[in-house]
Amino acid sequence: MKKKLPILIGGMLVVVCIGFAVAMVMGRSGITRLNFEQIQDGMTEEEVEEIFGGKGETRDPPMISSRLPTEKGSMRIWTNSQLVVVVDFKHGAVDYKACYRNTESTFDRMRRWVGLR
């Protein structure tokens, strides 16, 4: 029995690591091209969050976006393994939106997820 315990613990650890990796690669399912197309000028941030199923990140826009935020902290970014969605809010309403193919590596995504980037 004592010989099987380390194997059992190791197996459980592998399953948890695989589950974590799959979750990182899959991303949030609400971030889709179809949901992006539902966003209309004038929508509130809460309405956009409802469409995507969560809050966007406040950070610098990706290098592929030529748009600068209209107001400090007004740009939100939603990402998953396939897409990067950038939405800029002016006076609390959607003023600009863009959708790009995600070129971020899995390693960079993990670093951002744990707060190292």
pLDDT band at residue 51 under the 50/70/90 scheme? very high
Span 60-97, pLDDT tens digits:
655 555 666 666 668 899 988 889 899 999 889 999 99
Residue 102 near residue 91, CB atoms below 8 Å: no
Which pLDDT score is estimated for 106?
77
- In sequence order, the 6+-apart residues with CB closer than 8 A to the CB of 62 are 77, 84, 86, 100
- The CATH number of the domain holding residue 89 is 3.30.1450.10
Domain count, the chain: 1
Residue 36, domain extent: 4-113
Q: Which residues pair with 98 in a beta bridge?
A: 86
Predicted TM-score (pTM) of the model is 0.62
